[in-house]
């Protein structure tokens, strides 16, 4: 009889369960386009190798009286051809399934992850390892699938003792595989609690200036994008690929980071697409910040803080140029994402994690409260952006990958950016069929001399009917 390891889900991850809907199942996708068609057999072998080294990904989600918790499982993931819309639901109540999937379609390998399990950075570690293992197999066996060798021994970690008292103290028995058990517990621990001291002197970048006090929330109506829902509630995805160097040069001219430059273009696109409805209201973009860069943590769990930046389009046209917006967004973002401000957020996260009140509230009630909190927050957001930055893969994977993809199921228009080599991929997702804001975004870029390529899955009835007509003609 096996006694499975488990850890409770932290509050930051709980919000994804509470905010999960039919339209937005809180699933995100990271993917890579290879130089050749994907070999499913090699991919499966690579997945099994990597899966052994990522105990967190063995987890299934279960419901307790007060918490959701992640429980270790014996399930083996299977790679599958892509037959469902991207970011289809992964977690369903009472289904004991893994919280990620690996898909392939022609040249693409996609990793889809339920957001309660991990965040983009955590998932990127997994994808990197997966691509490396796949590319190694591909390089060593160009013609035939390699016979599956003995599995590499699990890595030896010098582990600290398990700090989580998960069982009743009485009659605690050793688990069957203590090394795996400890790895699971360590990897699955709430990330906020893995950081020792988050005082104001926490290891921020050297010489960082203390943050100015956070600006008081400005009042005023926040513009929210409305539209027609997609017919079967699948996420609308539009993927723009462009040369990294061209966009980076534009951002550097304005002395702003790429994320803020793209965000400024996004806000301007939303304004143009709204046709006057967004004038004089606040356009707010939520921007997650990866906390690992300031507070080192090995946890692959969710470990980010959300900040928001905003702009109000007014009468002064010089202030409303995307370049000018980018500069003011960058200023606001620098203040919000300063180490001191982030340390304060981290302390907040830890406080919530340990607060007795958050503990004794029964889970169904927690879901309702967090759902309401989330709805309240949504009312103050226009769009969301997320940038995983430039990714360098280990060889031979790096040379086999043409470009990377990253996008997330969305409750509001959103873009996710990732770059690899010469290609920057900016993927727009939205619960609505309308593509006006993406059209404006692409046109803003092409007007600035950027070469943009669009790739998109067919989503509306008309778009899908077109392929059926073609098949009939053939």
Residues that bind another protein in the complex, under the rule CB under 8 A: 1-4, 6, 8, 22, 33, 62, 64-67, 69, 71, 81-85, 92, 94-96, 105-108, 166-168, 170-171, 173, 231-234, 237-238, 240, 359-360, 435, 438-439, 442-443, 446, 451-458, 461, 463-464, 466-467, 470
Least distance (Å) from another protein to the CB of residue 380?
28
Residue closer to another protein, measured from CB, 109 or 117: 109
Least distance (Å) from another protein to the CB of residue 456?
4
| Location of structure tokens 């990732």 | 418
Q: Which of 449, 72, 9, 437 is nearest to 236 (CA)?
A: 437
Q: What 3-state class would DSSP assign to 143? A: coil
C-alpha to C-alpha distance for 184 and 187, rounded to whole angstroms: 5
Residue closer to another protein, measured from CB, 290 or 414: 414
Residue closer to another protein, measured from CB, 96 or 218: 96
Least distance (Å) from another protein to the CB of residue 435?
5
Residue closer to another protein, measured from CB, 68 or 294: 68
| Location of structure tokens 């973009």 | 285
Q: What are the percentages of helix, strand and coil residues in the chain, rounded to 5?
A: 35, 20, 45
Residue closer to another protein, measured from CB, 157 or 443: 443
Q: Residue 11 has which token pair? A: 């509050």
Least distance (Å) from another protein to the CB of residue 171?
6
Least distance (Å) from another protein to the CB of residue 375?
20
Residue closer to another protein, measured from CB, 292 or 403: 403
Q: Residue 128 has which token pair? A: 């990197």
C-alpha to C-alpha distance for 41 and 145, rounded to whole angstroms: 7
Least distance (Å) from another protein to the CB of residue 9?
11
> What ranges in 275-380 are assigned the alpha helix state H?
322-336, 339-354, 356-360, 363-378
* 27 CB neighbour count, 10 Å cutoff: 25
Q: Which of 394, 293, 285 is nearest to 342 (CA)?
A: 293
Q: What 3-state class would DSSP assign to 403? A: strand
């Amino acid at each position: 009889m096996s006694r499975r390891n488990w850890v409770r889900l932290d509050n930051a991850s709980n919000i994804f369960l509470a905010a999960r809907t039919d339209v937005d199942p809180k699933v995100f996708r990271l993917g890579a386009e290879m130089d050749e068609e994907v070999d499913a057999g090699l991919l499966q072998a690579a997945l099994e190798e990597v899966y052994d080294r990522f105990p967190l990904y063995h987890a299934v989600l279960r419901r307790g009286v007060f918490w959701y918790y992640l429980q270790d499982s014996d399930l083996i993931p299977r790679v599958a051809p892509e037959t469902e819309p991207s970011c289809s639901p992964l977690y369903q109540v009472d289904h004991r399934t893994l919280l990620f999937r690996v898909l392939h379609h022609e040249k693409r390998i996609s990793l889809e992850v339920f957001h309660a399990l991990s965040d983009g950075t955590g998932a990127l570690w997994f994808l990197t390892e997966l691509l490396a293992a796949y590319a190694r197999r591909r390089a060593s066996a160009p013609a035939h699938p390699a016979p599956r060798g003995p599995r590499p021994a699990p890595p030896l970690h010098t582990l600290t003792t398990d700090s989580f008292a998960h069982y009743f103290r009485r009659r605690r028995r050793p688990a069957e595989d203590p090394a795996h058990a400890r790895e699971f517990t360590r990897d699955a621990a709430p990330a906020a609690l893995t950081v020792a001291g988050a005082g104001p002197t926490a290891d921020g970048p050297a010489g960082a200036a203390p943050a100015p006090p956070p600006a008081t929330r400005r009042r005023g109506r926040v513009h929210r994008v409305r539209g027609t829902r997609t017919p079967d509630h699948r996420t609308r995805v539009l993927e723009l690929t462009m040369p990294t160097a061209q966009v980076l040069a534009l951002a550097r001219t304005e002395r702003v980071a790429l994320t803020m430059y793209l965000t400024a273009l996004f806000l301007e696109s939303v304004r143009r697409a709204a046709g006057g409805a967004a004038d004089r209201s606040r356009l707010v973009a939520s921007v997650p910040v990866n906390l690992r860069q300031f507070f080192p943590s090995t946890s692959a769990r969710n470990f980010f803080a959300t900040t928001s930046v905003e702009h109000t389009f007014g009468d002064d046209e010089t202030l409303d140029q995307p370049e000018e917006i980018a500069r003011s967004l960058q200023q606001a973002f620098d203040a919000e994402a300063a180490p001191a401000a982030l340390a304060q957020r981290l302390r907040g996260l830890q406080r919530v994690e340990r607060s007795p009140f958050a503990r004794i509230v029964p889970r169904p009630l927690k879901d309702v409260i967090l759902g309401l909190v989330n709805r309240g927050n949504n009312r103050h957001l226009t769009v969301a952006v997320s940038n995983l930055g430039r990714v360098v893969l280990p060889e031979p994977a790096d040379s086999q990958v043409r470009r990377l993809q990253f996008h997330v199921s969305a409750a509001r228009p959103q873009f996710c950016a990732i770059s690899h080599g010469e290609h920057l991929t900016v993927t727009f997702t939205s619960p609505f069929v309308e593509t006006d804001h993406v059209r404006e975004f692409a046109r803003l870029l092409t007007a600035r001399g950027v070469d943009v390529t669009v790739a998109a899955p067919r989503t509306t009835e008309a778009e899908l009917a077109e392929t059926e007509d073609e098949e009939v003609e053939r």
